[in-house]
A = this chain, B = another copy of it.
Amino acid sequence: MQLDEIDKKLLMLLQTDSKRTIKAYANDLELSNTAVYERIRRLENKGVIAKYVTLLNKGLIDKAFVVFCHVKLVQHIKEYVRQFEREVLQLEEVVECYHISGDYDYLLKICVKDMEAYREFLVGKLTALKNIGSTQSSFAIQEVKYSTAIQL
């Protein structure tokens, strides 16, 4: 995938704010509307642009309680691993999940209302899954940085 400097600047602008007009991006890049329009279309078609989304203020929708939960499985048979991953996708409280190196197998990021909601999630949903060995929860005391933008 070849991205020239204009593509990179454009993608930085789009990552920061996707609701400006094409004319506004064109002004910043000192290009015509059409040039910017065609570049965006190309980046969408190539798959570089994955999607356009709306980000909400977690504090205002009662989901400001963020927990990182390390999970260890009992068995690492391919079939069980696949099953765990399928089930995690269905858990609405889990916003991110990574298979990671180290002592634990998975790292989950969970957003809920409060500790009580987390307890319900942990006891009622996560540890209720088959093949869960141990879990270790770290609570977010403060969100220092959260960005969906990747530097180009």
Contact = CB atoms under 8 A, between A and B. Distances in A.
Interface of A: 1, 3, 11, 14-19, 46-58, 60-61, 63, 66, 68, 85, 88-89, 92-102, 104, 106-107, 111, 136, 138-152
A144 B89 contact: yes
A47 B57 CA distance: 7
Contact of A138 (B107, B140, B148): B107
Contact of A46 (B60, B93, B150): B60
Contact of A88 (B47, B93, B145): B145
Contact of A56 (B50, B54, B107): B50
Contacts of A58: 150
Given A52-B52, A52-B54, A96-B146, 15 more contacts: A11-B61, A14-B53, A17-B53, A18-B54, A19-B52, A50-B55, A53-B55, A53-B149, A95-B147, A95-B148, A98-B142, A99-B140, A106-B144, A107-B138, A148-B148
